[in-house]
Amino acid sequence: MNVSSGTVDDTEALHATTQGPATADPGSPEAALERLTAAQGDMPPQLRQAATFLLENAAAISVSSMRQLADAAGVKPNTLVRMARTLGFEGFQDFRRPFQEQVRRGGGQSYTDRTRWLQDLSHGGELDRLFGDMAAASMNCIEAMFSGTDRASVQTAARQILGARATFVLGMGIANPLARNFAYLASMAVDTIQAIPQDGALPIDALARARKGDVLLAMTFKPYRRDVVEAVEAAQAQGLEVIALTDSPASPILVGAHHGFLVPVDTLQFFTSTVALSAFLETLMSFVIAEAGENVVASIDRFHQRRHALGIYLDASN
């Protein structure tokens, strides 16, 4: 097989960050907290009060504004600036930059934390930076997907889909529209591919009539959907061949899959990115069409001729 979030308890988070090795990356949140811990005892009362609050609420540093943090700590915003300068930073923004970078890289923050961070960028007048960073993150996902995916494995998966009596495409949540789009495109050329679940049904319901040798193309990303994992397990028990699209080698749907593809989903936004997933599905579909017989050309032509005849498209001459 080619394998081409809740909030952490603040006390535990503090222990994990301040008790780490002394060789922490100087630009990391851990290093900033270590410096804060070491200097805390020599600080004036107001600065020490601010430092104590930040050490006990480290998860809030990246997602709250300086004023919000100061209010919560019971100090003035300027106190946080003075505290950061005491540690050798140019200002408080310089102090908390590593925490924000960790969120941008997907450092274990919850959806809510990411939402707060995005709004904080707006309040701080940093949307130009966000625009550029979103473009870079999207391109990075696509580049990582293509560079980490083996062409031969995509071709083999496409042939497996074409050779199957039936292929079921399963995506829930944000992946559901992409699963339906994949099946819609396939319907122009072949009639053996369908998106599941059907309206009002469970993913596992559509597999009741599946047979050994059929294909299940399933996708799920952290946090993994229970209904997708259970559908994959049921499909394997029935002898279906599974093509898994997911984001980690530890994903439960990779276990026992005939083909597994890792799709990057890193983003700055509050939810999983589907940019690379969409690109992968479009690529897989192009391989399906390329590997299909010559009758596919006539099938696609009939499909579009019928749509034109029904007046679905605007007449470009009008």
Q: Residue holding tokens 């083999």? A: 156
The residue with greater pLDDT, 239 or 306, is 239
> Averaged over 79-90, what is the pLDDT?
92
Question: pLDDT of 235-252, one tens digit each?
Answer: 999 999 999 999 988 899
Per-residue pLDDT at 125: 63
Per-residue pLDDT at 172: 94
Answer yes or no: is pLDDT of 302 > 80: no
The reply to whether the predicted model has a pTM over 0.85 is no
Q: Which of 190, 188, 191, 196 is nearest to 219 (CA)?
A: 196
Answer yes or no: is pLDDT of 10 > 50: no
CA–CA dist 21, 269 (Å, integer): 31
Domain 142-309: assigned CATH number: 3.40.50.10490
Per-residue pLDDT at 160: 95
H or E segment and range at residue 286: helix 275-291
pLDDT-based confidence at residue 57 (cuts at 50, 70, 90): confident
Per-residue pLDDT at 30: 84
Q: Residue holding tokens 């107001």? A: 46
- Four-way CATH pick for 10-114: 3.30.9.10, 1.25.10.10, 1.10.10.10, 3.40.50.740: 1.10.10.10
pLDDT-based confidence at residue 55 (cuts at 50, 70, 90): confident
Answer yes or no: is pLDDT of 299 > 80: no
Per-residue pLDDT at 175: 94
CB burial of residue 312 (10 Å; 0-12, 13-18, 19+): exposed
Answer yes or no: is pLDDT of 40 > 80: yes
- What are the residue ranges spanned by the domains of the chain? 10-114, 142-309
Per-residue pLDDT at 140: 81
